[in-house]
Structure 1
């Protein structure tokens, strides 16, 4: 949406999804409450957005379809619904509605579906992190402990007390070990993400209907690179706004029992908050808030060092990836390309069933062997290795240089994307998730993603059996491909007798279900099919 004011359509006979409703607001002199408004307008179809200009006395209501807006206007124009206090409504179509943060003086209510295309790097949501029984037990334990009410909501602190006046903790004044229920929650989070340090500070917040928390970034030089929050008792919509451009917003449903994890950019560059209201719009339906309790899990920095923030980025390759992935493929590109001629059948099947004219991104395209599989597709490839891109260019494919952790292509522009033999070269969980987030960002809602990665469970025909999941796989580069003018990396071993150089490629091989669990942490992606091919996991993923 644009930031312009709503206006009447150029053709009044051409209805839109947006309604301008005069003499009715959520608050102010004309206020009737959001629950009543949602109930009244929601009866005619799925609502996507509600902006209340309280000072100016009007509402902007956006429906999912034009048909729903037409039905609402036909039924409500000139009427005085009892649910709205008998106020007479004046309802007209609007050509567009401004976004929730376009300078409105009132309140706003947006359905998460309206921002599904927005991807927040470093944001993960793990539904069903705890069971219903575990949730009930936690709530019972928490309510058996003393609450503090020094701020507008009740809180409990464990490990270290959070100081709201200075937005930090006193690292020299620990409160003692975490109680068992907190320690268990922290350990469960750490098992899910062993690459993150174990939490040692937990704040428990109680939110009653109507309560929220202003958009904020947790103090950068007080806590480490992640913030986690476990939701109990009620679903809630949390808002994420890009700190440098608040017009970029994502609304996310946090279900009861879910864990939201903010790492890297989501932690440092996006503000998160909860609007002060009693209802949420979830999938177009009105959801009344009930009591919600959240556990915020953090790891404190004993020595405050703001430079750590500048060094943290989910879009920056690790040193391991630079030497044992990027450097290796640049060195072996010509030899590697000569061994990679035949497209794999399942990838070919995926590409061949896409409709003619579909726009497809191949992220990590290598020598481009999939870019010409289906000439009826519009395909573009990207890769880190310039020597491999040179091979693609010789074959007249459309390619460009880019790291898969940050792809400079337009959000939602593609009908499909493929990512073949890339994920097993990511050395951290966060990088694996970031690749998936980028794929989710590139593909339109309803599109598909196809991912192939090496399996720990090798089939009977494989020449390899892995002892662990993180391994160095040798590549024996024939002497004729070695550039005598280029010094060999320190890890490379020369075998003069066999006339080759042995390079070591880093790989993380995936156990059964591991990839599916990663995909579950990326909003907007759903696995629809899993197959095994040549000791590789092959996932078909829907963008929703």
Structure 2
């Protein structure tokens, strides 16, 4: 995918979230089932034997309304947490107070995709300025990243922001496995193409696995999403530089069928 097409699809999603942040957030309050396994793995792999007073640093890329922070605060009740949420849209209302007894919340407004396309490393370094992380999470975001190259670039950035020995947890949405979601994706994409609801650069940029989804009762409020296959996930992991990180587990979770997201957890070398 060329940069022009990628930028057009990124702007489509930026517009969607600016216009629908409140209503979207209202439907995103409960934690995902897969997060429980991420927390269990993190505790087992990184926190056993670690002094209770040593703060845990957690990065949440594309944090939205920061509900992951609220989940982690309850999942790690005896740990002091320094949480850093990053998102391009600052219209999302946080699900809880920014301050609590055991968690400090920081927030960075940053369009990481545009920064990665621009080669603007200094903008991405704003995240690193808050410290290297024990756990770097990216949930509900990879499907909004257009093209293999940019997905790999973001995954590598997540790993490089993580401490040696720390963990990286990433989810990959596989919504075309669900008959209802697959039908909606096909219908909405066909409508958008038929009625030319997309800028031409965005329409021409769509690749295999790329779809358009509407929102609530409006098929014209469009967002770009990619439905991953297992082989695509394998390809992303295999393209990481040798010695950068090692996969420690993968599993499926979420949705009524329990398999709408494929999770990968890596350990930073």
**TM-score, normalised to structure 2's length?**
0.69
**1:531 and 2:220 equivalent?**
no
Report the 3-state secondary structure (helix = DSSP H, G, I; strand = E; otherwise coil) of the residue aligned with 1:372: helix
**1:541 and 2:266 equivalent?**
yes
Task: Select which of 331, 340, 343 maps to 2:28.
Answer: 340
Instruction: Please tell me whether Structure 1 or Structure 2 has the larger radius of gyration of its CA atoms.
Output: 1
Report the 3-state secondary structure (helix = DSSP H, G, I; strand = E; otherwise coil) of the residue aligned with 1:373: helix
CA deviation after TM superposition for structure 1 residue 342, in Å: 0.6
8 A Cα contact 1:516 1:527, kept in partner: no
Listed one character per residue, the Cα deviations across residues 233-260 of structure 1 (whole Å, up to 9, x for unaligned) are xxxxxxxxxxxxxxxxxxxxxxxxxxxx
Q: Which residue is equivalent to 1:400?
A: 108
CA deviation after TM superposition for structure 1 residue 374, in Å: 2.5
Listed one character per residue, the Cα deviations across residues 32-56 of structure 1 (whole Å, up to 9, x for unaligned) are xxxxxxxxxxxxxxxxxxxxxxxxx
Instruction: Give the whole-Å Cα distance in 1 for the aligned partners of 2:172 and 2:235.
Output: 14
CA deviation after TM superposition for structure 1 residue 392, in Å: 2.1
Is 435-444 or 519-528 further displaced after alignment? 519-528
Instruction: Give the whole-Å Cα distance in 2 for the aligned partners of 1:383 and 1:317.
Output: 18
Task: Select which of 84, 90, 93 maps to 1:386.
Answer: 90
Task: Select which of 158, 161, 165 maps to 1:442.
Answer: 161
Report the 3-state secondary structure (helix = DSSP H, G, I; strand = E; otherwise coil) of the residue aligned with 1:374: helix
Task: Select which of 330, 335, 352 maps to 2:18.
Answer: 330
Count of paired positions: 206
CA deviation after TM superposition for structure 1 residue 394, in Å: 6.3
Instruction: Give the whole-Å Cα distance in 2 for the aligned partners of 1:378 and 1:440.
Output: 18
Pick the structure with more helix per residue.
2
Q: Pairwise CA RMSD of aligned residues?
A: 2.6
Q: Which runs of 4+ in 1 moved over 6 A?
A: none
Q: Which residue is equivalent to 1:319?
A: 8
Pick the structure with more strand per residue.
1
Instruction: Give the whole-Å Cα distance in 2 for the aligned partners of 1:393 and 1:403.
Output: 21
Unaligned runs of 5+ in 2: 74-78, 99-104, 116-123, 187-207
**1:522 and 2:237 equivalent?**
no
Listed one character per residue, the Cα deviations across residues 246-282 of structure 1 (whole Å, up to 9, x for unaligned) are xxxxxxxxxxxxxxxxxxxxxxxxxxxxxxxxxxxxx
Listed one character per residue, the Cα deviations across residues 469-496 of structure 1 (whole Å, up to 9, x for unaligned) are 110011136xxxxxxxxxxxxxxxxxxx
Task: Select which of 426, 442, 463 maps to 2:180.
Answer: 463
Q: Which residue is equivalent to 1:163?
A: none
8 A Cα contact 1:392 1:399, kept in partner: no
Q: Which residue is equivalent to 2:102?
A: none
CA deviation after TM superposition for structure 1 residue 413, in Å: 0.9
Instruction: Give the whole-Å Cα distance in 2 for the aligned partners of 1:363 and 1:513.
Output: 24
CA deviation after TM superposition for structure 1 residue 319, in Å: 1.4
Instruction: Give the whole-Å Cα distance in 2 for the aligned partners of 1:379 and 1:351.
Output: 14
CA deviation after TM superposition for structure 1 residue 328, in Å: 0.3
8 A Cα contact 1:320 1:506, kept in partner: yes
CA deviation after TM superposition for structure 1 residue 333, in Å: 0.4
Q: Which residue is equivalent to 2:120?
A: none
**1:474 and 2:172 equivalent?**
no
CA deviation after TM superposition for structure 1 residue 404, in Å: 2.8
Higher relative contact order (CA 8 A, sep 6+): 2
**TM-score, normalised to structure 1's length?**
0.35
Instruction: Give the whole-Å Cα distance in 1 for the aligned partners of 2:252 and 2:265.
Output: 12
